[in-house]
Structure 1
Amino acid sequence: MKVYFIGAGPGDPELLTIKGKTLIEKCKIIIYAGSLVNERILEYAPKDASIYNSAKMTLEEVVAVYKDAQKQNMDVARIHTGDPSIYGAIKEQMDALAELEIEYQMVPGVSSFLAAAAAVEAEFTLPSVSQTVIVTRLEGRTPVPEKEKLTALAKHQASMCIFLSVHMIEDVVTQLSTQYPEATPIAVVEKASWPEERVVTGTLETIAAAVKKAGITKTAMIMVGDFLDSEYERSKLYDPQFSHCYREKE
């Protein structure tokens, strides 16, 4: 048997990869992150599949399902949102599976930070603006290493995506404002790619009030940086005066 950690996408069922869909269709045991995964994804599961919502489970309870599947020699589809390797809490599961000598595989998906960029029609890496994307979160019940505090990361003024922090939007703004100018553009995308997707835009000076007015408190991506609204240089990739291994200079 084998456990498949599947990135089910940011919300839209059509953003599930073909590989992920194929695995879900064949696995008779499904464990899905019910607090975030669109339940329409479960329509691809076999009609007689045993389905577990991990939002209501502890790690030990999840591992118990893996053990039972091992006894039955049945594959498991462990469905996470987007890419399981980002805030997916999968390392502890993989370690447990290794101890049990259960084979596993990671199947990446479309992350919510990519869906959020699509929602605002933005490119994170604009020439002369930013060539770096920082993916992070504000400290909450899960601590953040001191060197990764938002105030430290903001020094780079790179394109930044902040997960799991919209309920602390004032703190986010306070920390970012120590390094980014107050006029820096910022966007908050709630439930990117879902039918109920909402986008709130502004600057560091205005965004907290706008988010509070919209009533957005969870399941939202915060994106900050000049990539959202600034002048930029033309890319060398398609510049007729720039040659590379696929195209000679005109």
Structure 2
Amino acid sequence: MKIWFVTVFPEMIRAYLKESMFKKAVEQQLVSFQVWDLRDFTTDKHRQVDDKPFGGGAGMVLKPEPFFRAYDRLKEIQKENPFRVICPSPQGKLFNHRRAVELSRGADLVFFCGHYKGIDERVMQNLVDEEISIGDYVLTGGELPALVIADSIIRHIPGVLHSYESAETDSFADELLEGPIYTQPREYRGLNVPEVLLSGNHQKIEQWRKQQRLERTKERRKELLNEKIEKNDIGGKNG
């Protein structure tokens, strides 16, 4: 998969891509990342990417021309290969695990990262395929949300994680939260690992883990449990 980030602050993105899973995905040639500076697609000597909003109001708006030029360049590079333009935005549809899996199996991705007051609506209407929100709050720009979304997506590309099973058992993988996990030592300051995890009985361990996930989801995100009951995934009136 190829992923582009188009941003006014490219170093914010590049810093993350040098670490952890992003770095491993590149080294294993499973994902390639390109970070484009939006200012490289300007034509004036000041490399201006923003201007005041028509009609007045606070804040600055990212101009349409650099985005359109970047998009034209993407079409030249991709030729017949499809790509999907995503703009992180609090106005978008809320991102979730299911959407991450879907995007990991689809076309190459381009993130248009907004900043300041936002991006000119002509870009949003004509170039952006999908606006995605990572929550009901506002950040300074789209760089961090773009990285959050990309991180969640590439986890589901086989080979990126050391064990794909790890992604399949993460929170939300089956619409339940992940349960408690433990490692060495068995006892620390009087705090002990549950005996069932030391028993070697894989069936009992699996049952315990499932029960813990159900209880944690009921306690912290009950609406997720209700959704599973409605789907008859864990029983219910007809279970």
Task: Establish whether TM, by shorter chain, passes 0.5.
Answer: no
Using the size of structure 1 for normalisation, the TM-score is 0.24
Larger Rg: 2
- Which has more helix, going by share of residues? 2
